Amino acid sequence: MAVVFLLLAGTANAQVLTVRCVPSHTISSSCSATDYTSIQNAVNAAASGDIILVGPGTYKEYVTISTDSLSLFGAQAGRDAREERDDSKKESIVDASGTGNPTFTIAATAPFVVIDGFTIRGGTGTPYAGGVVLQNIPGPSEIVGVQVVNNIIEDNAGGGCLICCQWNSRGT
């Protein structure tokens, strides 16, 4: 949560942003008064620059992000995924098992997205299957500011693909 307060402090002269919280607005005093029952509901309601805080628990869903400058912080945001992350009760687990989709899909229209502090599992789908898919990116030099940090990415399909990129064809 310290990450959120740093972000909020740095936006004093910037646009007004909303902190949306899943599953309840009571997980932080920074949260808006609206409850969201799923991460996707919070993402759908978000505007550019918003922050979504996700409390501990297992979220059986896949998440598609098409809003730019969106930050999603799980319960373990800012904590190294390699150290002392073995208590599933403290994790925000996003599990897309059985949906036929990647766990997180970030559209080309959504630069500067941050996904921090989750356990990401169960991603499948075609043509790219994985925990996090960057979709319809014009080219490798045009991925702008997407950060996927401090996450445990496990048990996804796609031959071990953790973060997959789907490029648009350019005819070159």
Q: What is the band of 67 on the pLDDT scale with cuts at 50, 70, 90? A: very high
> Which amino acid, residue 144?
V
Q: Quick one: tokens of 149?
A: 């940090």
User: When comparing pLDDT for 39 and 143, which is higher?
Assistant: 39
Query: Could you give phi then psi for residue 29, rounded to 5 degrees?
Result: -70, -15
Lowest mean pLDDT among 69-73, 101-105, 136-140: 136-140
Digit-coded pLDDT (tens) for 86-131: 899 999 999 999 999 999 988 888 889 999 999 999 998 766 678 8
Cα separation, 43 vs 65, whole angstroms:
7
The reported pLDDT for the residue numbered 171 is 38
pTM, 2 dp: 0.84
Residues 6 or more apart whose CB falls under 8 angstroms from that of 109 comprise: 66, 68
- Respond yes or no on whether the N-terminal peptide bond of residue 23 is cis (omega within 30° of 0): yes
- Is the dihedral angle over the CA atoms 102, 54, 72, 76 positive or is it negative? negative
The reported pLDDT for the residue numbered 32 is 92
